[in-house]
């Protein structure tokens, strides 16, 4: 069984050379009573937060137990879709599809307390269950509806808007009758947001020298909701342009993951006088919304109101490049790796 691990802890932007492909033997004969399973991974999710787990222990402690640090040599847990190939767990049979925490590997062993569930593809491609119907979808759905509490006609700004979570936040916001502006890091991404995903406006943040005035240009009447995926100076500029009682959902701060010197420092007098609410959240806090999210999203996929945006690399070998690419802005939509045929 081939699996990826890190060579050493990673403190800034990850490179392919930071990873090691290792081989282990994984016996298909499980100890009776162990309730373990072995699954063959089909699609693995590639997520920015993993980088924070790969930092030295002092940094990874900040994940507050949600996603603990990864040590060099250790297998890397990740969300994925897989098929059971051996099972001592009475609830799962060989051949069944599952979704949940597996590893960056061809095959993963799932313990009796593994975070996994049976997967009914409901007629959708398996990749949808990693992206739009998976954790990214729930993050966008719960973060936008529960944290931002949108009202019709409100003005919404989304950063990393062509990414996995961002593109869905924009699409959900449009379905809620909001005015939506997204920013992304290239011209084709900006075009896609406006032409394919229905964003009212979009801009390339790399071409802007003064983000504060850029946001004034796109939001002459101010921002009601900022869905933050990037942190740092974008968050500061967004807060400076917020309306009274505006909401900032801090989903992620990717620009700070690769630069320990970078920290958002929004003007707290703006926050006080405009009564702005800035709230961080974890998708896992909103697992209670999962069924509602799945049924709403499936309906909207079937009606064509939602457009899935996927960016799939092929094969286990491609994982380090795919992962490093998140921090270069390579991906358009949900980044995942196809490990094996269904």
d(CA 211, CA 238): 8
Helix (H, G, I), strand (E, B) or coil at 261: coil
Among 281, 296, 298, 340, contact with ligand NDP (rule: CB under 6 A)? 281
The separation between the first and the last C-alpha atoms of the chain, rounded to the nearest angstrom, is 18
**Least gap, CB of 307 to ligand NDP (angstroms):** 15
Closer Cβ to ligand NDP, 89 or 139, answer by number = 139
Cβ at position 269, least distance to ligand NDP in Å = 26
List all residues 6 or more positions away from 220 whose beta carbon is below 8 Å from its beta carbon.
none
Q: Tell me the pairing of strands 37-45 and 334-338.
A: antiparallel
Could you say which of 326, 336, 337, 339 contacts ligand NDP (CB under 6 A)?
A: 326
Does position 290 interact with ligand NDP (CB under 6 A)? The reply is no
Return left, alpha or beta for 86; rule: phi > 0 is left, psi -120 to 50 is alpha, else beta. beta
Residues that contact ligand NDP, how many (by CB under 6 A): 30
When the beta carbons of 84 and 193 are compared against ligand NDP, the nearer one is 193
Q: Checking phi first, is residue 14 left (phi over 0); if not, alpha (psi -120 to 50) or beta?
A: beta
Of residues 134, 163, 170, 320, which one binds ligand NDP by CB under 6 A?
A: 163
**Of the residues 335, 336, 338, 339, which one makes contact with ligand NDP according to CB under 6 A:** 335
Joined tokens for residue 1: 């069984």
**Residues in 41-80 at the binding interface with ligand NDP, rule: CB under 6 A:** 47-49
Q: Which element (helix H / strand E) includes 173?
A: helix 164-175
Instruction: Give yes or no for residue 263 binding ligand NDP (CB under 6 A).
Output: no
Draw the binding track, 211-250, toward ligand NDP (x: CB under 6 A; -: no contact). ------------------xx--------------------
Backbone angles phi, psi at 109, to 5 degrees: -95, 130
Piece in contact with ligand NDP (CB under 6 A), picked from 53-61, 101-109, 271-279, 329-337: 329-337
Determine if 114 is a binding residue for ligand NDP (CB under 6 A): no
* Nearest alpha carbon to residue 130 among 89, 175, 97: 97
Q: How far is CA 232 from CA 9, 227, 271, 330, in A?
A: 23, 13, 16, 20
**Can you tell me which of 158, 165, 237, 336 binds ligand NDP, judged by CB under 6 A?**
165
Q: Does residue 283 touch ligand NDP according to CB under 6 A?
A: yes
Cα-Cα-Cα-Cα dihedral sign, residues 11, 14, 17, 22: positive
Q: Which residues bind ligand NDP (CB under 6 A)?
A: 47-49, 136, 139, 160, 162-166, 184-186, 189, 229-230, 251-255, 281-283, 326-327, 329, 331, 335
């Amino acid at each position: 069984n081939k699996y990826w691990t890190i060579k050493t802890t990673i403190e800034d932007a990850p490179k392919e050379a930071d990873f090691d492909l290792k081989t282990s033997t994984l016996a298909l004969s499980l100890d009776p009573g162990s309730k373990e399973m072995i699954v063959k991974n089909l699609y693995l999710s590639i997520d920015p937060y993993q980088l924070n787990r790969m930092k030295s222990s002092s940094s990874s402690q900040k994940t507050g137990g949600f996603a603990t640090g990864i040590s060099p040599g250790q297998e890397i847990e990740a969300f994925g879709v897989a098929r059971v190939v051996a099972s001592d767990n009475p609830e799962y049979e060989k051949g069944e599809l599952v979704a949940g925490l597996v590893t960056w590997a061809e095959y993963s062993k799932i313990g009796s307390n593994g975070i996994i569930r049976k997967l009914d593809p409901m007629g959708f491609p398996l990749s949808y269950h990693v992206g739009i119907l998976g954790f990214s979808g729930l993050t966008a759905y719960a973060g936008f509806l529960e944290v931002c509490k949108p009202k019709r006609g409100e003005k919404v700004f989304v950063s990393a808007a062509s990414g996995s979570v961002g593109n869905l936040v924009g699409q959900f916001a449009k379905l809620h009758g909001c005015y939506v502006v997204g920013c992304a890091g290239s011209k084709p991404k900006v075009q896609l947001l406006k032409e394919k995903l229905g964003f009212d406006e979009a801009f390339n943040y790399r071409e802007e020298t003064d983000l504060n005035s850029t946001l004034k240009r796109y939001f002459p009447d101010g921002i009601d909701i900022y869905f933050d995926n990037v942190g740092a100076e974008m968050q500061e500029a967004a807060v400076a342009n917020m309306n009274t009682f505006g909401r900032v959902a801090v989903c992620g701060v990717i620009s700070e993951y690769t630069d320990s010197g970078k920290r958002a420092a929004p003007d707290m007098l703006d926050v006080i006088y405009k009564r702005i609410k800035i709230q961080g959240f974890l998708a896992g806090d909103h697992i209670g919304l999962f069924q509602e999210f799945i049924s709403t999203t499936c309906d909207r996929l079937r009606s064509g109101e939602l457009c899935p945006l996927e960016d799939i690399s092929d094969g286990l070998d491609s994982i380090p490049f795919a992962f490093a690419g998140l921090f270069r802005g390579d991906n358009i939509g949900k980044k995942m790796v196809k490990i094996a045929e269904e």
